[in-house]
């Protein structure tokens, strides 16, 4: 029954993704150079509904409060480099079937032009499948999830982002993290992981926190904060389904986020190293109270 719900949910994901792809027969591709910043933005109206087909002139990008010149703009389905990080720790044992189905069905729903790598992690990091667009190879790499040992979430995030940054073919990069967020085995800190999440070329992070009835309230609260922090800093989203009935809505939202984002590239006119806050303003003469959901900034000039 659990598997059936997830198959239906990811079927919705695939339908939305294919509908988005159908809007552009020739996928949009773009390149960024050193010093350029790529910002992905979803625009919502006052009711929280996605707003599409806005022109570039409706957008203003501000870095540290200073307007930036937008050098490239698109609203099209572009190929994506995706890393799927699957928590394989002992604390995930009660959620094993949910994690298994979520990861496998995400792979099956992947756009043929995307490239995907899969990581399984507990207190160790395992690259289960290097970058590929072969679904059978990805399924084989994922294999059978057998939760054991502790959770080195921060280590996995650091190594996953590093692998993505060094090997991705596409400028648009995404991490899908499936975990209960409880880190008890990392050699790195949350602050060190956040430093990579806030790098100029960092990926969007979508986190699915899967908690069980045996997870303590305090532990769940702290784990949720970590997953939410990763998502907020990157411009992605964190989701915490209470039961499988919510998965359809979650997958629809993730599909819209990844496939129907506005892509804006600018070259920063700021020179001071450190954290640079990003804000995207959207003003359209035909619609009011539009809000852009995007990353809150990045760290520049810090080694």
Average model confidence (pLDDT) across the chain:
80
> Considering the domain boundaries, does residue 23 fall inside one?
no
Q: DSSP 3-state helix, strand, coil percentages of the chain (rounded to 5)?
A: 35, 30, 35
In a shared domain, residues 58 and 184? no
User: What percentage of the chain carries pLDDT values higher than 90?
Assistant: 43
Q: What is the 3-state secondary structure (H, E, C) of 153-197?
A: HHHHHHHHHHHHHHHCCCCCEEEEEEECCCCCCCCCCHHHHHHHH
User: Encoding tokens for residue 17?
Assistant: 């993704």
In a shared domain, residues 280 and 194? no
| CA dihedral of 144, 227, 19, 119, whole degrees rounded to 10 | -30
In a shared domain, residues 157 and 213? yes
| Domain boundaries, position 282 | 31-77+260-300
pLDDT for the residue numbered 83? 92
> Considering the domain boundaries, does residue 96 fall inside one?
yes
pLDDT for the residue numbered 81? 93
Q: For 2-31, write each residue's pLDDT tens digit.
A: 344 433 443 433 343 333 333 333 333 444
> Considering the domain boundaries, does residue 10 fall inside one?
yes
Where does the pLDDT of residue 41 fall: very low under 50, low under 70, confident under 90, or very high at 90 and above? very high
In a shared domain, residues 60 and 205? no
In a shared domain, residues 57 and 189? no
What CATH number has the domain bearing residue 296? 2.60.40
In a shared domain, residues 153 and 280? no
In a shared domain, residues 84 and 229? yes
Question: What's the domain count of the chain?
Answer: 2
> Considering the domain boundaries, does residue 184 fall inside one?
yes
What CATH number has the domain bearing residue 9? 3.40.50.410
In a shared domain, residues 96 and 231? yes
pLDDT for the residue numbered 217? 77
Kindly tell me if the per-residue pLDDT of 216 is higher than 60. Answer: yes
């Amino acid at each position: 029954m659990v598997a059936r719900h997830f198959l239906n949910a990811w079927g919705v994901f695939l339908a939305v993704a294919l509908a988005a792809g159908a809007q552009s027969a020739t996928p949009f591709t773009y390149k960024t150079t050193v010093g350029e910043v790529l910002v992905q933005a979803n625009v919502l109206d006052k009711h929280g509904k996605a707003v599409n087909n806005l022109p570039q002139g409706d957008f203003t990008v501000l870095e540290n409060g200073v307007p930036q010149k937008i050098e490239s703009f698109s609203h099209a389905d572009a190929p994506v480099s995706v890393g799927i990080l699957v928590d394989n720790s002992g604390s995930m044992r009660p959620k094993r079937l949910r994690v298994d189905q979520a990861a496998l069905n995400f792979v099956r729903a992947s756009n043929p032009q995307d490239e995907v790598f899969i990581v399984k992690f507990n207190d160790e990091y395992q690259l289960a499948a290097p970058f590929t667009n072969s679904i059978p190879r990805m399924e084989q790499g994922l294999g059978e999830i057998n939760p054991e040992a502790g959770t080195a979430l921060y280590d996995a995030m650091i190594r996953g982002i590093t692998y993505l940054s060094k090997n991705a073919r596409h400028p648009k990069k995404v991490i899908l993290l499936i975990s209960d967020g409880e880190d008890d085995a990392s050699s790195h800190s949350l602050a060190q992981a956040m430093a990579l999440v806030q790098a100029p070329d960092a990926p969007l992070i979508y986190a699915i926190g899967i908690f069980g009835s045996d997870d303590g309230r305090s532990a769940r609260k702290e784990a949720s904060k970590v997953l939410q922090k990763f998502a907020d800093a990157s411009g992605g989203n964190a989701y915490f389904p209470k039961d499988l009935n919510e998965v359809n809505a979650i997958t629809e939202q993730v599909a819209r986020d990844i496939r129907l984002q506005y892509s804006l590239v600018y070259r920063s006119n700021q020179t001071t190293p450190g954290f640079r806050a990003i804000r995207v303003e959207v003003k359209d003469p035909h619609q009011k109270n539009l809000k852009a959901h995007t990353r809150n900034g990045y760290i520049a000039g810090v080694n």
